[in-house]
Amino acid sequence: MLHVQNLTGGYDKLYPTIHNVSFQVEKGSFFALLGPNGSGKTTIIRLLMGILPITSGKVMLDGISIDHYSSVGLAKKISVLSQENQVGMDFTVEEIVALGRYPYQVKRLFYEETQTDKDAVKEAMKLTSIESYKTKPFLSLSGGEKQRVLLAKALAQEPELIILDEPTNHLDIKHTLEILDLLKRLQKEKNLTVVAILHDLNIASIYAEAFAMLKHGKILQVSKGFIKQDEALLQNVYETDLQMAAHPELPKMQISFMPQQIPKKEGPSSSISITKDENRLRLQLNSQFRTLSLGKEGEGLTWCAGILCTNVPDSETNEHYIRWEYPESRISCFQEEIFGTECILIGQRDGADLHLALFTGHPLSDTDLMNVAVSLAEIRTMVSDVPITGRLVIGTNRMQRKKATGLEKNLLAELNRWLSHKIQGVK
């Protein structure tokens, strides 16, 4: 539907903001423009709408150059929701939404309103859930409410293509999802084409079918959804540390941003400490470890501050601790430095069950944790002639940021060797 080819332009013809940008948006699709502040996303929209001059390149809408459309003809095809939500005059909400019907009224005498106009305004207000305050002055609304009113105005225009500049600006989580779910529904039901500037990469990953990634006025990539290999691209574009992982419920990728690490005050050199008494063994971590917990009462991937082994019912357990209902006397505990970092294995036999917990100061990835869990399960089956089950817990110190040192394979091999030897000694 929309074809942008070698587009160059901006606020100054001598120093264009946008350089040789090309992308294509299919009819009925959701396309996102992504990139940091100042990358040129809003400038592209202003070039598309003729607000800023195009130095070179083409913008085609349904196979026709966009400069061949009249302003009214273009307004019947495209509606725009910009970042600005200020209105100079104190119109009511319903009056603001009705302004979206202007392209259909401009040739009528006195811009009279037809029943079709009234129905379109009513439907747009219903879709955006603003009917309850349709008589309120627009200027009295909150930022989020204004955003929904302006979206209703854009929908009342009955466009084929809607362009949105940060449509979830000022919205809380609930209303953000409501607006984007509505856009997706209209996309499917009415074949509406959506082009949106989005700053939230996780929202973009979930809702957009395709996106263009911009930096310094140039497109670095046009693709259909994120993949794990895009980590390096996003780190370059946003100049920050981040990681990508699969969404827990959808076949989409999600991005986690990493804050700058603040040096810790001097403290114990070990990240793991163990205390024992007659009925209790407590393994305490000096920071929460990324943990994979499997088996009975396992929580999957989570974070924990330690593990408490005791059969005393009223023993206090920190909410971030994993608790095992066994006294210290029935627990085997092994400690060793592997490649200069402390590793601790806790084991306990209970009939056909062999419960194992491994904690290491090495910063393992989630994939590494899963591989270690597989190794533990395999080793556990080799120490008995009968099938053995039980809980598995593997924890890693993520506060030590992972570096690409080539150590991982050697580390995992050495861990497996050590575990194979020690698991045989579990009581």
pLDDT in tens, 71-114: 888 888 999 988 665 666 678 999 999 999 888 886 655 567 78
Write out the CATH class of domain 2-257. alpha beta
Q: Which two tokens stand for residue 267?
A: 């403290």
Sign of the torsion formed by the C-alpha atoms of 183, 187, 193 and 199: positive
How far is the C-alpha of 339 from the C-alpha of 270, rounded, in Å? 14
Is the distance from CB of 395 to CB of 290 less than 8 angstroms?
yes
Q: Which two tokens stand for residue 384?
A: 């008995």
What's the farthest any 2 CA atoms get from each other in the chain? Answer: 93
Is the distance from CB of 358 to CB of 419 less than 8 angstroms?
yes
What's 89's DSSP letter? Answer: S
Rg (CA), the chain: 29
* Average pLDDT of every residue of the chain: 85
The angle, 0 to 180 degrees and rounded to 10, between the axes of the packed helices 143-156 and 173-189 is 10
Average pLDDT over residues 21-39: 94
How far is the C-alpha of 281 from the C-alpha of 293, rounded, in Å? 19
Rounded alpha-carbon distances, angstroms, from residue 422 to 134, 416, 418? 71, 10, 6
pLDDT in tens, 113-143: 788 899 999 999 998 889 999 999 998 888 7
Q: Which of 215-219, 295-299, 356-360, 414-418 has the highest mean pLDDT?
A: 215-219
Residue 165 CB partners (closer than 8 Å, separation 6+): 41, 42, 45, 80, 81, 82, 83, 196, 197
The answer to whether the pTM exceeds 0.85 is no
What stretch(es) of the chain map to CATH 3.60.70.12? 272-424
pLDDT in tens, 402-423: 554 455 678 888 888 888 888 8
User: CA-CA-CA-CA torsion for 212, 4, 41, 213, nearest 10 degrees?
Assistant: 10
pLDDT in tens, 243-302: 888 888 899 999 988 777 655 554 445 678 888 877 778 888 888 899 999 987 778 889
Q: Report which of residues 376 and 266 the model is more confident about.
A: 376
How far is the C-alpha of 419 from the C-alpha of 427, rounded, in Å? 15
Is the distance from CB of 393 to CB of 291 less than 8 angstroms?
yes
How far is the C-alpha of 82 from the C-alpha of 100, rounded, in Å? 14
Is the distance from CB of 203 to CB of 183 less than 8 angstroms?
no
pLDDT of residue 312: 74
Q: What is the secondary structure of 283-319 as a DSSP string?
A: EEEEEEEEEEEESTT--EEEEEEEEEEE--TT----T
Q: Which two tokens stand for residue 373?
A: 């869990």
How far is the C-alpha of 154 from the C-alpha of 102, rounded, in Å? 11
What stretch(es) of the chain map to CATH 3.40.50.300? 2-257
Q: Report which of residues 263 and 316 the model is more confident about.
A: 316
Q: How many CA atoms lie within 13 A of 179 on its CB side?
A: 28
Identify residue 88 by its one-letter amino acid code.
G
| Fold classification of 272-424 (topology level) | L-amino peptidase D-ALA esterase/amidase (3.60.70)
